[in-house]
Amino acid sequence: TVHLGEIEEHEAVFDDVPRRTVTTSMDRLWSQKNLQRHHDMHVHWHATHVAERLRELVERYHFDRLIVGGAVEAVGELLRVLPKRLSERVAGTISVPVTASVSDVLAEVRRLEEQVERQTEHQLVESLLTAAGKGDRAVVGPTATLEALHEGRVRRLIYVGDHALTGSACAQCGALFWEPQRETCWYCGGKLEAVPDFLNRVLERTLAVGGSVEEVRGPAAEKLKAAGGLGAFLRY
């Protein structure tokens, strides 16, 4: 398993898999086919054995994503025999030899993890923009998002971490506003005071009302920036 940038080895599964024997002799063609079938059968048995151990590990550690690594043949066979419960968690594959060092495996896992994260974030922002466009329990842009936050409707806040977002808070009711030109709260009429590190205040408020927060990066961040750098899926 990989957690917080560290890799931990839990179990090794070994099975004897006979090597392929390559020959061009016609009188050995029949034997060659038998050896190939024998090899393929052992690869299948080993993959089935590994899949069974993986099933036990997922029950023990409850991981969300599975990355399959190894030689191309072994990876392909393992993917074929994985039960649906595990195959649905496969995030991707990496090509590494069995003798690869822990640092080499971790580097490949991080590379794939970064790729998967960016793809997931892109899909998330696409879903947010689509839902907001339809008015389907989602909003984008600071004004609409902060209004929903004040009303306690934010279920999941999506934001761009490096987006310059300045704003203020009402000294009386605590409502948050991003418009720099406002001087009074439109909820209670109280005086607005500038808030340093305004984005952090927005994140804290979201968590305080029981919502979750998620930062997006890369292409997803650029797309969300064009819509104001902030959005949310709503409870209602």
CATH code of the domain covering residue 81: 3.30.420
Residue 110 in domain: no
Q: Are residues 94 and 128 in the same domain?
A: no
Q: Are residues 64 and 154 in the same domain?
A: no
Provide the residue range defining the domain that includes 227. Answer: 120-234
Residue 149 in domain: yes
Q: What is the pLDDT of residue 54?
A: 82
The answer to whether residue 87 scores a pLDDT higher than 70 is yes
Q: Are residues 124 and 196 in the same domain?
A: yes
Q: Are residues 87 and 135 in the same domain?
A: no
Quickly state the pLDDT bin for 169 (edges 50, 70, 90): very high
Structure confidence by residue, pLDDT tens digits, 183-192: 899 899 999 9
Least confident of 3-7, 103-107, 129-133: 3-7
The answer to whether residue 36 scores a pLDDT higher than 70 is no
Q: Could you tell me the CA-to-CA distances from 38 to 48, 80, 93, 114, 124 in Å, in that order?
A: 15, 18, 26, 39, 46
Structure confidence by residue, pLDDT tens digits, 56-71: 787 787 777 888 887 7
Q: Are residues 225 and 178 in the same domain?
A: yes
Q: Are residues 227 and 136 in the same domain?
A: yes
Residue 190 in domain: yes
Q: What is the pLDDT of residue 11?
A: 58
32: helix, strand or coil: helix
Residue 43 in domain: yes
Last residue of a domain, one of 47, 70, 100: 100
Strands (E), the chain: 2-3, 6-7, 66-69, 90-94, 138-140, 154-160, 168-170, 176-177, 192-194, 212-216, 230-234
Residue 114 in domain: no
Mean pLDDT of 10-34: 54
Return left, alpha or beta for 174; rule: phi > 0 is left, psi -120 to 50 is alpha, else beta.
Answer: left
Q: Are residues 221 and 132 in the same domain?
A: yes
Q: Cα–Cα distance between 24 and 42 in angstroms, integer?
A: 23
The answer to whether residue 207 scores a pLDDT higher than 60 is yes
Q: What is the pLDDT of residue 174?
A: 94
Q: Are residues 224 and 169 in the same domain?
A: yes
CATH code of the domain covering residue 216: 3.30.1330.30
**Four-CA torsion 222, 223, 228, 229, nearest 10 degrees:** -50
Structure confidence by residue, pLDDT tens digits, 130-140: 999 999 999 99
Q: Are residues 84 and 124 in the same domain?
A: no
> What total of structural domains would you count in the chain?
2
Nearest to 199 by CA among 158, 150, 153: 158
Mean pLDDT of 195-199: 92
Q: Is the pTM of this model over 0.75?
A: no
Q: What is the pLDDT of residue 2?
A: 65
Q: Are residues 96 and 147 in the same domain?
A: no
